[in-house]
Amino acid sequence: MSMEKKLALRFEYTSRSTTSTQTQQKDGHLHNAGQAPYTVNSTNRVDLMASGRLNLNESMALAPNPVADPGVRVPKARARDIVHLAEQAGDILARAREAALAPGTKKVLRKFNLKEVAELIGVSAKTITRGVQRNELPAGERVRGNRLLFTLEEIHEIQERLGLRPWRDAAMDKAVVVAIANFKGGVGKTSTAIHLGQYFALHGYRVLMIDLDAQASLTTLFGLLPDSEVATEQTALPFLEGETATLAAAIQPTYWHGLDLIAANLALYGAEFSLANRQKAEPNFRFYQALKAGIASVSDRYDVIVIDTPPALSYVTTNALYAADGIIVPVPPAMMDFASASLFFSLLGDIQKVIDENEGGEKVFDFLGLLISKYEPGNFVHQTIHDWVRAAFQQRVLFHTMGTSTVLRMGPEIQTAYEVGAYQGDRRTLSRALEYLEGVNGEIERLVRAQWPSKAAPRSVAKPERLATAEAVS
Ligand SMILES: Nc1ncnc2c1ncn2[C@@H]1O[C@H](COP(=O)(O)OP(=O)(O)OP(=O)(O)O)[C@@H](O)[C@H]1O
Ligand SMILES: [Mg+2]
């Protein structure tokens, strides 16, 4: 982005509240006390918005010159100024989201090349090309250079034809519910959840993702605007309120074949009150059991159910934990996050004790693992806290960590690492991100599969069974 565009962008946001130290001059310049004027160029500004290249990080980096006297620079604030701040922030967010996700436009998943498909399914590329040549496998799309590209649906079809679907055995194995939880905000719960759900879908499992956070980050990542494109009926709220008998009506398919979603929006906050009221009003109702019953009503269609939880010890979070077979707790390697993790376990332990007493039994989670998230291996502080976390929680800490590069710098484009086809930045950044994800998600996949008696052997040793061409390849 040109400097002029950046500055125009900055003006766009500052000009809405001209403070005592900022004045817009007739010459089209915005003057800050003691600073050089910024050029205002409305055409650039419009172009920037229209092209959807609004980059919030860049606009934030353009904060006023920090050396200006703070006593003059930072304005006083009354309630109405604060309300105005909220409006300004809301405005920026709405524009960023519009640029990335125009209402009504649907996200589409990219296609995957032969190498990716072969790796995902665990067969050689030759097996696939021969299958395609013999019309035994979906044809895919031939693009420039005679390369083959496949949709996720075609990948699943290839798995099906090769007898390599990794589905659980309906008679022997249960659908495994994994909750991603930590009462601390911003530790990487949503990021972990979405990449995990998408990993399972990529590998051919049937996945349901449940967004239980009224802030709806997960829902937004699936390309839905929570305020305008998610109806209350598409969230868990009606079920938690006791208005629907199953969770089925809340489920919607996504542009990821094999991955369904129960979305969230702000109305989901209402679940807190409903659950508390129902506990008082309905004699046999236990507020923490509701979601588990809801999941049981739909789980026969899925292999894995991934729940993203809000950063709070709420009734809704307690429901997610009660419904969970396994819990993954992301913890960034920072002092405050380490302290919060220990508080989280203390509170979770207390809640579980009370629930166990109530239920007259002892719930055993199939797994409860910590995931070191947002990790920079070259950062000395991160290394130190990483070592503490491992020393304190030992086997409970996942072997793999989630490095910082997992979140790619993509400006306002709302995409996960799996969705990025051609990355604008350094190609190695994307490969590193995918390596981290492969490590962490592969480890959680093994934890899930360990709960399935029929799948004692890991997925990678499975051999193609049905296709003649597959047998020809060792
Ligand atoms: N591995 C990572 N490395 C660097 N940044 C990350 C990583 N994972 C997440 N982030 C960033 O940290 C921020 C919070 O991530 P995320 O939304 O996943 O956390 P969260 O725990 O779900 O937050 P909340 O508690 O608000 O729901 C986001 O800006 C995200 O891009
Ligand atoms: Mg979140």
**d(Cα 197, Cα 307) in Å, to the nearest integer?**
9
- Helices H / strands E in the chain, number of each: 19, 13
Q: Is the CB of 411 under 6 A from ligand 1?
A: no
- Residue extents of the structural domains in the chain: 112-166, 176-417+424-455
Listed residues: CB within 5 A of ion ligand 2:
189-190, 217
Among the bound ligands, name the one nearest to the CA of residue 407.
1
Contacts of 218 (CB under 8 A, 6+ apart): 190, 193, 194, 209, 211, 261, 264, 308
Distances (CA, A) of 374 to 61, 263, 329: 21, 25, 13
**d(Cα 30, Cα 37) in Å, to the nearest integer?**
5
Q: Is the CB of 185 under 6 A from ligand 1?
A: yes
Q: Is the CB of 191 under 6 A from ligand 1?
A: yes
Distance of CA 416 from the midpoint of ligand 2 (Å):
14
Tell whether the model's pLDDT for residue 18 goes beyond 60.
no
DSSP track, 310-379 = -SS--HHHHHHHHH-SEEEEEE-SSHHHHHHHHHHHHHHHHHHHHHHHHHTS----SEEEEEE-SB-TT-
Closest protein CA for atom 29 of ligand 1: 186
pLDDT of residue 327: 96
Helix H or strand E encompassing 141: strand 141-143
Among the bound ligands, name the one nearest to the CA of residue 416.
1
For ligand 1, pick from 57, 182, 190 the residue to mutate: most ligand atoms within 8 Å of CB. 190
Q: SS3 for 408? A: coil
Tell me the per-residue pLDDT of 399-437, one tens digit each, with 9 for 90 and over: 999 998 766 555 556 788 898 876 566 677 888 889 999
Distance of CA 209 from the midpoint of ligand 1 (Å):
17
- CB–CB of 409/425 below 8 Å? yes
Tell whether the model's pLDDT for residue 16 goes beyond 70.
no
**d(Cα 105, Cα 152) in Å, to the nearest integer?**
20
Give residue 467's pLDDT band: very low, low, confident or very high (50, 70, 90): very low
Q: CATH number of the domain at 176-417+424-455, out of 3.30.310.50, 3.30.70.100, 3.20.20.70, 3.40.50.300? A: 3.40.50.300
- CB–CB of 248/297 below 8 Å? yes
Contacts of 382 (CB under 8 A, 6+ apart): 333, 334, 375, 376
Give residue 459's pLDDT band: very low, low, confident or very high (50, 70, 90): low
pLDDT of residue 14: 33
Q: What is the dihedral of CA 269, 275, 276, 278, to 10 degrees?
A: 140
pLDDT of residue 359: 92
Among the bound ligands, name the one nearest to the CA of residue 191.
1
DSSP track, 251-284 = -EE-SSTTEEEEB--GGGGHHHHHHHHHHHHSTT
Distance of CA 447 from the midpoint of ligand 1 (Å):
23
Distance of CA 328 from the midpoint of ligand 2 (Å):
13
pTM for the full model? 0.80
Q: What is the CATH number of domain 112-166?
A: 1.10.1660
Tell whether the model's pLDDT for residue 21 goes beyond 50.
no
Identity of the amino acid at 157:
E
Residue 75 CA, chain-centre distance (Å), reads: 36
Q: Is the CB of 44 under 6 A from ligand 1?
A: no
Q: Is the CB of 213 under 6 A from ligand 1?
A: yes
Q: SS3 for 178? A: strand
Tell me the per-residue pLDDT of 330-362, one tens digit each, with 9 for 90 and over: 999 998 998 888 889 999 999 999 999 999 999
Give residue 97's pLDDT band: very low, low, confident or very high (50, 70, 90): low
